[in-house]
Amino acid sequence: MDHSLSRQDRLGQVPPEIASRILLLRDDALVLNKPAGLATHRGPRASASVEDWLPALQMGRRHLPQPAHRLDQDTAGCLVLGRTKPALAALGAIFAKGLAAKTYWAVVQGGPAEDAGEIGLPIRKISSRAQGWRMEAHADGLASLTRWRCLGRGDGVAWLELAPETGRTHQLRVHCATMGWPILGDALYGAGGAGGLHLLARAIALPLEPPLQVEASPPPHMEGALGSCGWHAQARWLRLLHGERSSNHDGKRPVM
* Residues with Cβ within 8 Å of residue 197, at least 6 apart in sequence: 36, 72, 74, 75, 173, 183, 184, 185, 186, 187
For residues 248-254, average pLDDT: 42
Over the Cα atoms of the chain, what is R_g?
Answer: 19
Backbone angles phi, psi at 172, to 5 degrees: -65, -40
75 neighbors 199 (Cβ within 8 angstroms): yes
For residues 90-114, average pLDDT: 97
Q: Set out the domains of the chain in order of their start, with CATH numbers.
A: 7-242 (3.30.2350.10)
**Which helix (H) or strand (E) is 104 found in, with range?**
strand 101-109
Q: How much is the mean pLDDT over the chain?
A: 90
pTM of the model: 0.88
| pLDDT band (50, 70, 90) for residue 243 | low
Residues with catalytic roles: 72
Give bridge partners of residue 76 from the DSSP assignment: 200
Query: What are the pLDDT digits (tens) for 147-188?
Result: 999 999 999 999 999 999 999 999 999 999 999 999 999 999
* Residues with Cβ within 8 Å of residue 113, at least 6 apart in sequence: none
| pLDDT band (50, 70, 90) for residue 232 | confident
Please state whether 55 falls in left (phi above 0), alpha (psi between -120 and 50) or beta: alpha
* Residues with Cβ within 8 Å of residue 75, at least 6 apart in sequence: 34, 36, 197, 199, 200, 201
Q: How many residues does the chain have?
A: 256
pLDDT at 17 over 90: yes
Query: What are the pLDDT digits (tens) for 30-69?
Result: 999 999 999 999 887 768 999 999 999 999 899 999 999 9
